[in-house]
Structure 1
Amino acid sequence: MFRFKQFTIQQERAAMKVCTDACVLGAWSGVATGIRLLDIGTGTGLLALMVAQRNADARIDAVELDADAAQQACDNVMNSPFANRVTVAQASIQAFADTMPAQFYDHILTNPPFYTNSLRSPDAAVNRALHSDELPFPDLIRVVHRLLKQDGAWWVLLPPPESDRLVTLAQKVGLQPVRQLYLRHQPQKPVFRHLTEFRFAEAAAPQIAELSIREHDGQTYTPDFRRLLQPYYLVF
């Protein structure tokens, strides 16, 4: 269980637990505006609930393939103050997208599976959450390209190599990276995640910023991290 200031995430039935980088995505993405938002691969419902907290006007569709995780997300939503604004759907995003009108969403968020040839887990749910078999990048881009409004934004969290590959594929359909956050565990550690904002735009170099979670001592949270997560974390 992970308690935030305005909601609680139960996670015993979900393969992917609450992680710091996903929390950073929810806090960093520009979701304070927009009415219709989509969370692709919601897992426990974390991102959907973070969006609901930040945007009182948002109506969020949270889609999850795994049945146990989808039920967990549904329970978390129902036990939150935002139950009337978040809808959880248990489906593949490919099938879900086929039921929706084109250019329906103001914004889209996703923390997608990214492993391809790495060691598999004996747990099928873990494999679905971590490996891209069920949602390869070309499928993800096709879904976003169809559902995102022309003036909307798409936020994605990935390791650097996979992020670079997604950027290359997305640019081919006119989705350009306009803003990126490079995430480090500590200032002296390598970047381990790229957070990227895509928009339908002319190609240009994205604005790049960096964020370290903790100071050099590995214990103290950095001021920038504290400022970003202060609306959510109880310890701040």
Structure 2
Amino acid sequence: MPNDYFKFKQFLVKQDKCAMKVCTDSCILGAYTPVTQAATILDIGTGTGLLALMAAQRSPAQITAIEIDAAAATQAQENINSSPWADRINVYQQSLQEFSATNQQLFNLIICNPPFYAASHLSPDQARNVAMHSQELSLSEIVRFCRRFLSATGKLFILLPPTESRNFASLAQAENLHLISALHIFTFTRGKHIRTIQGFGREQITPVPEENLFIRNINNTYTTAFQELLRDYYLIF
């Protein structure tokens, strides 16, 4: 059983009301995404509020966080209220579709750790299904939303498994959102490729910079690259 909270250097994330707990790959997304130049940030599917909080620690931006699940949205609000950045983060308990229907703001940065599993992987836990499975929010809906609401120089950073990341890149390209960076995440050196973080923008970059991040060494210690990436957040580094 995971702990009902996760303590970072500058904030605490309670997670007992959320189907999706704090996980390493989401922390990597929060630490890797470039936020310092963004004045407006949107966190799609905020869950515990983790990514919004990580962004707020490194950025003076005004941050909007949306979450479809009522219990998770309540917990995200609690976590943000107890953080140093409560005045800069607004939580809305809405689906992306509902938010899209009323939103009039453009965002310099959109960050997303979306649901991605197919219906064949459904579990008995409905809240976890909403958090993990794409029947409530498809990748194509995310692409269409970003096409409308990214600013002219805005960027999208999204975390997906390898196969889904390739599918997403094709969908984005069809909407003139171009791949600008890719970070491939591996469990160990010479281990399994588990996730890819992709950056997208309206301008094409050739060649697209790509790199690998290995979380642990063969001896199970954290790699230097992982430690450096998470140093501002993890208490153990």
Tell me which interval the TM-score lies in, with the shorter structure as reference length: over 0.9
Match status 1:155 vs 2:172: no
2:120 alignment counterpart: 118
Distance in 1, Cα, partners of 2:172 & 2:183? 18
Contact between 2:119 and 2:135, CA under 8 Å: does it hold in 1?
no
Structure 1 residue runs without a partner (length 5+): none
Contact between 2:12 and 2:83, CA under 8 Å: does it hold in 1?
yes
Distance 1:144 1:154, change over 3 A: same
2:47 alignment counterpart: 43
2:168 alignment counterpart: 166
Pick one of 67, 92, 96 that aligns with 1:93.
Answer: 96
Pick one of 65, 70, 73 that aligns with 1:62.
Answer: 65
Tell me which stretches of 4 or more aligned residues in structure 1 moved more than 4 Å: none
Pick one of 174, 177, 180 that aligns with 2:179.
Answer: 177
1:165-199: CA deviations, max 9, x gaps? 00000000111111000001101112110000000
1:188 alignment counterpart: 190
1:235 alignment counterpart: 236
2:227 alignment counterpart: 226
- What's the TM-score, normalizing by structure 1? 0.96
Match status 1:53 vs 2:57: yes
Return the offset for 1:101.
1.6
Match status 1:141 vs 2:143: yes
Amino acid across the alignment from 2:53? L
SS at match of 2:152: strand
More off after superposition, 163-172 vs 200-209? 200-209
Amino acid across the alignment from 1:65? I
Pick one of 72, 76, 81 that aligns with 1:78.
Answer: 81
SS at match of 1:213: strand
Return the offset for 1:204.
3.8
- What's the TM-score, normalizing by structure 2? 0.96
Return the offset for 1:97.
1.6
Pick one of 182, 192, 214 that aligns with 1:212.
Answer: 214
SS at match of 1:118: helix
Count of equivalent residues: 233
Structure 2 residue runs without a partner (length 5+): none
Contact between 2:179 and 2:204, CA under 8 Å: does it hold in 1?
no
Return the offset for 1:117.
3.2
Distance in 2, Cα, partners of 1:177 & 1:211? 18
1:2 alignment counterpart: 6
Return the offset for 1:203.
6.4
Distance in 2, Cα, partners of 1:119 & 1:163? 18
1:195-225: CA deviations, max 9, x gaps? 000001236442100011111112x111111
SS at match of 1:84: helix
Amino acid across the alignment from 1:216? I
Match status 1:33 vs 2:37: yes
Distance in 1, Cα, partners of 2:19 & 2:140? 24
More off after superposition, 37-46 vs 197-206? 197-206
Contact between 2:119 and 2:134, CA under 8 Å: does it hold in 1?
no
